[in-house]
Amino acid sequence: MPEVLVADDDPHIRQLLVFALEKAGMVVREAADGEAALAEVARARPDLIVLDINMPRMDGLEVCRRLRAQGDLPILFLSSRDDEIDRVLGIELGGDDYVVKPFSPREVVARVQAILRRGRAMSADQGAVSGRGRLAIDEAAWLARWDGVDAPLTVTEFGILKILAGAPARVYSRDAIIDRLHGPGFAITDRTIDSHVRNLRGKFAALGGHDVIETRPGVGYRLGPCQGGAA
Residues 6 or more apart in contact with residue 17 via CB below 8 angstroms = 6, 8, 28, 50, 105, 108
User: What distances in angstroms separate CA 95 from CA 19, 80, 160, 166, one per listed residue?
Assistant: 23, 16, 14, 23
42: exposed, middle or buried (Cβ count in 10 Å: 0-12, 13-18, 19+): exposed
Per the structure, the count of domains in the chain is 2
Question: Can you give the residue range of the structural domain that contains 75?
Answer: 3-121
Question: Which of 75, 100, 121 is the last residue in one of the domains?
Answer: 121
139-162, pLDDT tens digit by residue? 777 789 998 899 988 888 898 998
18-36, pLDDT tens digit by residue? 999 999 999 999 999 999 9
pTM for the complete prediction?
0.62
148: domain CATH number?
1.10.10.10
103 and 175 in one domain? no
Nearest by Cα to 94 from 124, 72, 109, 110: 72
133 and 89 in one domain? no
23: domain CATH number?
3.40.50.2300
How sure is the predictor about 126, in pLDDT bands with cuts at 50, 70 and 90? very low
Tally: H helices and E strands in the chain: 8, 11
Q: Which residues are bridge partners to 138 per DSSP?
A: 143
